[in-house]
Structure 1
Amino acid sequence: MKILPTLLPFFFLISCVAKKDQYQESLAMNVDLTALPSPQPSQKASPNEDVNVTKDVDFIKNAPAKKLIKDGFVEFETSDIEKARAQIMNASAANGAYIASDKQNSSEDKISYTLIVRIPASKFDSFLNSATKDVRYFNHKQIDVKDVTAEYFDVETRLKTKKEIELRYRELLKKASTIKDILSIETELGTIRTEIESAEGQLKLQADQVQYSTLRIEFYKITSTPAVFTYQLSSAFSKGWENLLTIVILAVDVWPFIFLGVGLWFGFRKVVKRESVKEETDVTI
């Protein structure tokens, strides 16, 4: 009991400190955070931030260019087919393009051309506008763009790896001492060389398709109505003659039945006539 008066001041002090802490926490919770000044940005970025920025810039600079393959097809009618063809030829020369295929088809009611043009990818739109500037409407127009960037660089990476493997095999071939080892390494070299040539061919094809776009152009002219009528009339005569020949051939093919039919018909008429004469004789008597 003598100790209790001694400890009372100590407990009172602890109680006051605890109440002070609770008051400060309550005050902090009631402070409007939006009224506090925003922290000022530091004048100098940290070393890690500098490294990240440098990496981002390097990535943008070293990003691979897009590999795009553009193909198209257009079809239209024209009133002057030779003028339309000359316009396409002039547009090809002006844009560095070349004609890969040139076909003409003529019939009694229509004359048409089919051209396949290879155009530098950067001049595709310019060529298309120049070649078809007088076309009022298209029967068909379709432009397709295919992104082969991932595929192209995947093949390129695999090609590089295969060439490195080929070099290692060649180094091993120089060090081979037995016939078995030499034959085994040469077999692997043949296989890897075939794969390299296949990958190189694929890359060359894709590079050509990326560098030069392909446009198929079909245009035609409808001929005059008299020409159509003449064609229809001549076709009717030809068809009639063919039908006549068909009937003659059919008649020759079944001639025994025709003769038999004719014989039966004459025999039937003879019998009918005899019966008619007999009836007339009986009536007279």
Structure 2
Amino acid sequence: MKKGIKKLLVPLMALMLVMTIGCGKMKSERDYAEYSTNGQTAPSRSEEPKAETSSGRGGLSNITSDSGMTVDQEVGTDRKVIRTVRKEIETKEFDKAVNFINERTIRDKGYIQSSNTSGGRLLNGNYVGDRYGEFVIRIPVDKLNTFLKDVETIGVVISSSENGEDITAQYFDTEARVKTLKIEEERLLTILEKSEKLTDIIELEKRLSEVRTDIENLTGTLKKYDNLVALATVTITLREVQEVTELKTKPVSFGEKIVTSFKDSVNSLYEILKGLVLVIVSVIPFAALAAVVAVPIVILAKKHEKKAKEVIKKETEKE
């Protein structure tokens, strides 16, 4: 009886072995068929993707990073914010202000992305006419506050604005897509090693090239994001003036309002008098020209009048 059972077990084990090999081969062929149809490899049990999305297009809600945290959890501790600052400054010492900006930029490990100056002209080694300059500067975010405080000392800040653009969602979404593409790249390489048909090899290499191109483009995007986040963009508009704009504080008490009103009236009267003086000075050349022309005419007119009177007198005597 035992010998009969042993004889039956041997062919049964052989049959199971053949079926296992056949199933494995069918699964491998089915995986490639799915890849060829959908353009993606079917996930294997031994290698689950590190980053998956519930929407299938890179949504952030269910993405899991290498640390085991979801993106929503990581966002709270590592936000990606692009900071941009604009300042408009008036100064009476344009050259000194430009040198100061250059020195502070170098000191704070930043760089001038672009600069442009215009206006003014040289006369006997000195500039005549007010100049204008615009400087776009990249400064490390940890040095930004110190840099701005220093720059504000070069003149009077006429206007100032600061903006922060939160790109956290775009950043982690792009990072997750890179991870998913790298997993697909590894699977493609694994299938490519096992493939024997020329058509399959050509199709796999084509898709592998597309995946690598996408990885390269997205990696470049991440590097651009890192640069924008690490270095703030500061745009400084520098205006040369003869007199800087006086920044007035709003009066609080009634007495301060009276004093402020009196000063404003005096300043207004002073400006009116200056205007009158300028008008008088500008009229003097025309008045002088009019006098030059009018005097001979008056003299001739008087001579003509005198002669006319003499003629009338003579005629009267004859009568």
Structure 1 residue corresponding to 2:118, chosen from 105, 109, 112: 105
Instruction: Give the deviation of 1:62 after TM superposition.
Output: 9.4
CA contact (8 A) 2:185 2:211 kept: yes
How far does the alpha carbon of each residue in 1:175-213 deviate from its partner, in whole angstroms, 9 at most, with x for none?
111111011101111111121111101100000001111
* Alignment-derived partner of residue 100 in structure 2: 87
- Contact 2:86 2:162 (8 Å CA) reproduced: yes
State the shift of 1:97 in Å: 1.4
Question: Which one-letter code corresponds to 1:102 in the other structure?
Answer: S
Match of 2:230 in 1: 211
Q: Supply the AA of the counterpart residue of 2:113.
A: A
- Between structure 1 and structure 2, the one with the greater Rg is 1
- C-alpha separation between the residues in 1 aligned to 2:74 and 2:187? 33
- Which residue in 2 is equivalent to 1:122? 142
Q: Supply the AA of the counterpart residue of 2:106.
A: A
Provide the TM-score with structure 1 as the length reference.
0.54
2:84 paired with 1:71: yes
| C-alpha separation in 1, matches of 2:104 and 2:97 | 11
Structure 1 residue 111, shift from structure 2 partner: 1.1
2:220 corresponds to 1:201: yes
1:223 CA displacement: 6.8
Q: Is the deviation greater in 151-160 or in 108-117?
A: 108-117
- Which residue identity lines up with residue 120 of structure 1 in the other structure? P
For structure 2, list consecutive stretches of 5 or more residues without a partner in the other structure: 1-67, 122-128, 244-319
Instruction: Give the distance between the partners of 1:135 and 1:80, measured in 2 at CA.
Output: 8
| Distance across 1 between alignment mates of 2:139 and 2:209 | 37
Offset from partner CA, 1:40-80 (integer Å, 9 cap, x none): xxxxxxxxxxxxxxx99xx9799541111101111222101
**CA 1:75–1:61 in structure 2 vs 1: closer, same or farther (change >3 Å)?**
closer
Name the amino acid aligned to 2:221.
Answer: Q
Q: Which residue of 2 aligns with 1:172?
A: 191
**Mean alpha-carbon deviation: is it higher for 88-97 or for 187-196?**
88-97
Q: CA separation in 2, counterparts of 1:62 and 1:69?
A: 15
The 8 Å contact of residues 75 and 168 in structure 2, kept in 1 or not, is answered as no
Instruction: Give the partner amino acid of 2:164.
Output: V
1:162 aligns with 2:181: yes
Output aligned runs, 1:2-41, within 5 Å.
none
Does 203-212 or 191-200 show the bigger shift?
191-200
After superposition, residues 200-279 of structure 1 pair within 5 angstroms as 200-222=219-241
CA distance in structure 2 between the partners assigned to 1:200 and 1:220 by the alignment:
41
Matched residue SS, 2:157: coil
What secondary structure is seen at the aligned counterpart in 2 of 1:158? helix
Secondary structure of 2:153 counterpart: coil
Superposition RMSD on alpha carbons, in Å? Answer: 2.5
Please say if residues 111 and 223 of structure 1, whose CA atoms lie closer than 8 Å, have aligned partners that are also in contact. Answer: no
* Corresponding residue of 1:181: 200
Aligned counterpart, 1:146: 165
Q: Which amino acid aligns with 1:198?
A: N
Counterparts in 2 of 1:143 and 1:61: CA distance versus 1, 3 Å: closer
User: Which has the larger share of helix?
Assistant: 1
Distance 1:169 1:181 in 2: 11
Tell me how far 1:110 sits from its aligned partner: 2.8
Query: Between the two proteins, what is the percent identity of the paired residues?
Result: 28
Q: Which residue of 2 aligns with 1:13?
A: none
Write the distance in 2 (CA, Å) between the matches of 1:142 and 1:63.
26
Matched positions, count? 167
- Residue 135 of structure 1, CA deviation: 2.7
Q: What's the CA shift string for 1:70-114, capped at 9, x where partnerless?
A: 011112221010111122122212222111212221246431222
Query: What secondary structure does 1:194 align onto?
Result: helix
Pair 62,214 (structure 1): closer, same or farther in 2 beyond 3 Å: closer
Question: Which gives a bigger RCO, structure 1 or 2 (Cα 8 Å, sep 6+)?
Answer: 1
SS of match in other structure, 1:110:
coil
Task: Say whether the 8 Å CA contact 1:70–1:213 is kept in structure 2.
Answer: yes
- Structure 1 residues 61, 148: closer, same or farther in 2, change over 3 A? closer
User: In 2, are the aligned partners of 1:67 and 1:152 still within 8 Å (CA)?
Assistant: yes
| Unpaired stretches in structure 1, ≥5 consecutive residues | 1-54, 225-285
